[in-house]
């Protein structure tokens, strides 16, 4: 495989990037001076070397601290937890500025309750997180897709069995997020009212 095809194939694996966009990226890079390419390579390498996962919420972050800036912020509400599918959902919710609790990134959603599917989610990590805290409310904020709904059931079961008593109140985002839609693509205002109207 020549270097163009090789790079096109790499970019094609990126989320939302198809063959045509991948091709455009490659031709764009070909036109760049050597310094720009080096800058890109260094930035990609740094991403892997400097970024670590927060052991509480699994949000990637950079720096010397043990925890991410949200988990170590003393003004966040430590009794309120929001369970989400992925990192970008955290960014979407943070951008509304309507949520002052903590997060837990599940790492995906599953369509079936088969063991091999479930093992891809951070269910064991969630159990540990629940066991060590006294949350009064947990918002299960997964996308209203079939996978999101199936995973919500699993998360709720986990909360009911693994959280210390009294069982925290389990809430969901209110309507407003289109059925089959995703948090990541929901506009700020809609997400804001879905958070405020949670039940």
- Encoded tokens for 20: 């045509």
Determine the 3-state secondary structure of 191 from DSSP: helix
Question: In the complex, what is the shortest distance from the CB of residue 66 to Zn ion, in angstroms, rounded to a whole number?
Answer: 10
Binding mask 13-52 for Zn ion (x = CB under 5 A): ----------------------------------------
- Does 84 bind Zn ion (CB under 5 A)? Our answer is no
Contact between residue 108 and residue 120 where contact means Cβ atoms under 8 Å apart: yes
- Encoded tokens for 104: 């837990």
Question: In the complex, what is the shortest distance from the CB of residue 56 to Zn ion, in angstroms, rounded to a whole number?
Answer: 5
Binder of Zn ion out of 13, 40, 41, 68 (CB under 5 A): 68
Which string of DSSP letters, residue by residue, matches 24-58?
Answer: HHHHHHHTS-HHHHHHHHHHHHHHHHHEEE-TTT-
**Which residue, 59 or 92, has its beta carbon nearer to Zn ion?**
59
- Does 90 bind Zn ion (CB under 5 A)? Our answer is no
Interface positions, 150-189, toward Zn ion (CB under 5 A): none
- Encoded tokens for 156: 């709720």
Question: In the complex, what is the shortest distance from the CB of residue 53 to Zn ion, in angstroms, rounded to a whole number?
Answer: 9
What number of residues does the chain have?
A: 199
Q: Which chain residues interact with Zn ion by CB under 5 A?
A: 54, 56-57, 59, 68, 71
């Amino acid at each position: 495989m020549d270097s163009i095809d090789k790079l096109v194939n790499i970019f094609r694996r990126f989320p939302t990037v198809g063959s045509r966009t991948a091709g455009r990226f490659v031709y764009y890079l070909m036109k760049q001076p050597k310094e720009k390419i080096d800058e890109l390579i260094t930035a990609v390498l740094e991403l892997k070397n400097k970024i670590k996962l927060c052991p509480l919420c699994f949000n990637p972050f950079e720096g010397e601290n043990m925890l991410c800036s949200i988990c170590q912020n003393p003004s966040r509400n430590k009794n309120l937890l929001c369970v989400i599918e992925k990192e970008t959902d955290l960014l979407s919710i943070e951008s509304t500025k309507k949520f002052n609790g903590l997060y837990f990134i599940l790492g995906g959603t599953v369509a079936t309750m088969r063991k091999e599917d479930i093992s891809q989610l951070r269910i064991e990590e969630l159990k540990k997180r629940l066991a060590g805290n006294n949350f009064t409310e947990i918002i299960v904020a997964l996308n209203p897709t079939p996978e999101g709904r199936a995973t919500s059931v699993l998360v709720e079961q986990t909360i009911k069995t693994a959280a210390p008593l009294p069982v925290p109140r389990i809430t969901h985002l209110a309507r407003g997020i289109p059925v089959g839609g995703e948090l990541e693509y929901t506009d700020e205002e809609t997400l804001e009212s879905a958070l405020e109207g949670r039940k």
